[in-house]
Structure 1
Amino acid sequence: MAEELSANVDNVFVLTGKPNYPNGDIYLGYSAFGLQIERQKSFTIFRVPLIPRGKGGAIKMLLNYLSFIISALFLAPILLRKLNIDVIFVYGTSPLIQGISAIPLRYQFKAKLITWVQDLWPEDLASTGYITNKFLLKINEWPARLLYFFSDRILVQSNAFLGPVRRLTSNPEIYVLPNPAERHVFFQNRSIEIPKLMDQMLGKFNVVFAGNIGNNQSIQTIIEAAEIIKYHKEIQIIMVGSGSYSERLKQEISERNLNNLVAVGRYDSEYMPSIFECSDALLVTLGAKENLGWTVPCKVQTYMAAGRPIIGSISGEGKLVIEASGAGLTADAEDPVGLANCIIQLFGMDSQSRAVMGNAGRQFAEKNYHPQKISQILMDHFKSALGGKG
């Protein structure tokens, strides 16, 4: 997104922490402590200290979240003091409370604060299982209320987000803006080949899951579906990614002797066009909790851009988008039998019928999720918040 915005704006700056997601360790070449400035081709990244999230657990996750907020609150005003800033844009992935650190900057620079809500708070806490106590969840509403109160404009990633966000704010400036397809995939950039993985995919009907392997993704549904279809020797499910459920996934594969379910680990985004090109279908799953049905996972837009049919074990907004576009087949969230049936049904189709689905998804992505189009709409929101000034 910063890359897209920098095509329209002279100065784009990113404030973030030290990279440690998804494996939980600080990346090679970085330190958890100290400040760091990175110069990209068209924008600058300012990194503040944080405590890495480690291998999971509520306490480590909380320390990770709070350490960034505290570092940003105290260090960002000093780190950014020489800049001229008109708009502060909070890209509100989980945890949304990271945006609180933008509130003092709003006043320091007399800038407009715009928040794009990607994950609902505190609902995301409940769906991941980190907090289930209703009283604690109620307390966690207040950081979101605070951020919404100080935001000049709030953007949400799906229509279903409107109600939950309006419940926490009287701010009238709330608009729907869907996520763009991932640019490497949308523009079908040539990427590096992966001989070992490509060899593994040869001669098989490959259903590829790409992205975070975590609690919200209902990985157990995929495992149970793989168990159901394991006697279809031509079909295999390839899991590309990592996350809090990765070790459990590997354990289940081993214990159940699932030769048709392969966890290959995480690959950088530039590899994904090649992986998608070798796939026959792309898989998206979510849990059955109500708030997860309000979201459209970013991978849906990217899968559509890849031009491959989508199989979704998903409810709510994500399911509606897949069905409306004609891009694939869907089962309900957490329905392994339904998911297995979708995989078998798609496998039984001729290649032309599958290509029709893939092309329908690609056309839908071009119309609704083009990265440059979404970036331009975002720019229009910036200009409108500034009173029409470019």
Structure 2
Amino acid sequence: MKKKSSGKVKILVVCQYYYPEPFRITDICEELVRRGHKVTVLTGLPNYPEGEIHPEYKFGKNRNETINGVQVKRVLEIPRGKSKAQLFLNYFSFALSGSIKSLNLKKDFDVIFVNQLSPVFMTIPAIVYKKVYNKKLFLYCLDLWPASLASGGISQENSIYKIIKKISKWIYQSADGIAVTSKMFIRYFDQDLKVDTNKISYLPQYAEDLFGEDNTNNKLNNDFNLVFAGNVGVMQSVETIVEAAKILKENNKIIFHIVGDGTSLEGCKALATLYELDNVIFYGRKPITDMPNYYNMADVMLLTLKKDDLISYTLPGKVQSYMAAGKPIVASIDGEGQRLINEANCGYASEAENPKLLAENILKMSTDAKMDLLGINSLNYYRKEFNKQKFMDSLESELILLGDSNV
């Protein structure tokens, strides 16, 4: 007999990353709690992006926590480290220990929610729980696999790639519902992974409330300030920004601010030193609560992504944060990101990894009398398409629907 719905569900959230790691899943879970749902998160030990376990989580400490009403259960995980070999061990260790832990969780969760970033293997503990307890699984795909591997340099003809493609296909086909952050993801699921598109919906990300709380200008000087905020990794191609800064180095009024950390940060710093650039400032990683201060000192936000057909399907989450802050955007990006900026009429977008065109657009923006209007367009588009209320209403409806479908 089917149980009667109360409109509230007990949700098991599976994600390899959670607070204090800087991902939006923390905000999502806390909002679900505020809406009256019971939320338990199965996650790993905080080590992103530094690659080392945070001291307060070593030696078995803080494996079970309650954070702002969310029950957090952490499992053993090998840290990311600095090598590809250790990163693989990191991926494998969470999938294994999370699967073991899932067998020992209570069986009274109504629905499973996977916030799927890289790696896709983080979904495996959720599938184990689904199979054992006959529960529905809703997957939110923020990072497309195995497309991410191909973009990282692994050939699609490589045997490892082919194995991971089969695993990825099995994972996505195991989900009862899938939401994607980019409409272009649906094409990949259909053509490359043969996943039933009837169970796929479009659910773009939102920005945390703090990005829209204060849009006052906090400029440090009278220069033209451009800010890049977020992960500084291979996919983000921040080197393109440094190359554009080199082209514009004689214009001492244009200043580039890089706020974030990642595997490519030291390489970008070295490149800036090689070019003797004094127009690029690196701040490293900052807490999310500090980010509005950096946004507010910007005239324009910067967006770059690696040139790759599959990566171009992705819409980086920072786009929503930039728009929520009411900032114009200058981008070196293909595909979904370029399409969206043009549709919103909120800035200039040129092809990925082309520093010459990026520099030209930065110069153009610096003298654009309509720059403030582009910022207004950015904020208006965010409020219409990406606001948090709309996101949470859609997600909540999906989880309640799947939770109520269990018998």
TM-score normalised by L of structure 2: 0.88
| C-alpha distance in 2 between matches for 1:150 and 1:186 | 37
Match of 2:189 among 158, 165, 186: 165
| C-alpha distance in 1 between matches for 2:42 and 2:210 | 23
The question of whether the paired residues in 1 share the 8 Å contact of 2:223 and 2:255 is answered with: yes
| C-alpha distance in 2 between matches for 1:13 and 1:188 | 32
| C-alpha distance in 1 between matches for 2:178 and 2:37 | 24
1:10 maps to a residue whose letter is H
Report how many residues are paired: 377
Other-structure match for 1:65: 91
Other-structure match for 1:136: 160
The question of whether the paired residues in 1 share the 8 Å contact of 2:261 and 2:285 is answered with: yes
Other-structure match for 1:194: none
CA deviations over 1:230-273 (Å, ceiling 9, x no partner):
11101111000000001111111111101111111011111111
Q: Which region of structure 1 is more displaced relative to structure 2, 57-66 or 34-43?
A: 34-43
Match of 1:329 among 348, 364, 370: 348
Match of 1:42 among 61, 69, 74: 69
The question of whether the paired residues in 2 share the 8 Å contact of 1:240 and 1:267 is answered with: yes
The question of whether the paired residues in 1 share the 8 Å contact of 2:102 and 2:128 is answered with: no
1:223 maps to a residue whose letter is V
CA deviations over 1:251-300 (Å, ceiling 9, x no partner):
11111101111111011111111111111100010011001110111001
Structure with the larger RCO, 1 or 2 (CA within 8 Å, 6+ apart): 2
The question of whether the paired residues in 2 share the 8 Å contact of 1:32 and 1:49 is answered with: no
- Counterpart check, 1:147 vs 2:171: yes
2:395 maps to a residue whose letter is L
- Give the unaligned 5+ runs of structure 1: 191-197
- Counterpart check, 1:115 vs 2:139: yes
Identity of aligned residues (%): 34
- Counterpart check, 1:2 vs 2:29: yes
Alpha-carbon RMSD: 2.1
The question of whether the paired residues in 2 share the 8 Å contact of 1:153 and 1:173 is answered with: yes
- Summarize the alignment of residues 219-368 of structure 1 with structure 2, pairs less than 5 Å apart: 219-350=238-369, 353-368=370-385
Other-structure match for 1:193: none
| C-alpha distance in 2 between matches for 1:288 and 1:312 | 12
1:141 maps to a residue whose letter is K
| C-alpha distance in 1 between matches for 2:403 and 2:272 | 53
SS in 2 for 1:140: helix
Residues 9/104 of structure 1: CA separation in 2 closer, same or farther (3 Å cut): farther
Match of 1:374 among 381, 386, 391: 391
SS in 1 for 2:129: helix
Other-structure match for 2:119: 95
TM-score normalised by L of structure 1: 0.92
The question of whether the paired residues in 2 share the 8 Å contact of 1:4 and 1:371 is answered with: no
- Counterpart check, 1:182 vs 2:208: yes
Cα distance, 1:145 vs structure 2:
1.4
- Summarize the alignment of residues 192-211 of structure 1 with structure 2, pairs less than 5 Å apart: 201-211=220-230
Cα distance, 1:28 vs structure 2:
2.9
- Summarize the alignment of residues 5-44 of structure 1 with structure 2, pairs less than 5 Å apart: 5-31=32-58, 36-44=63-71
SS in 2 for 1:154: strand
1:64 maps to a residue whose letter is N
The question of whether the paired residues in 2 share the 8 Å contact of 1:18 and 1:32 is answered with: no
CA deviations over 1:340-371 (Å, ceiling 9, x no partner):
01111111123xx2111111111111111111
| C-alpha distance in 2 between matches for 1:268 and 1:162 | 33
| C-alpha distance in 2 between matches for 1:124 and 1:35 | 32
CA deviations over 1:63-98 (Å, ceiling 9, x no partner):
1100111110112322x22x6311111111111121
Other-structure match for 1:195: none
| C-alpha distance in 1 between matches for 2:215 and 2:395 | 24
- Counterpart check, 1:104 vs 2:128: yes
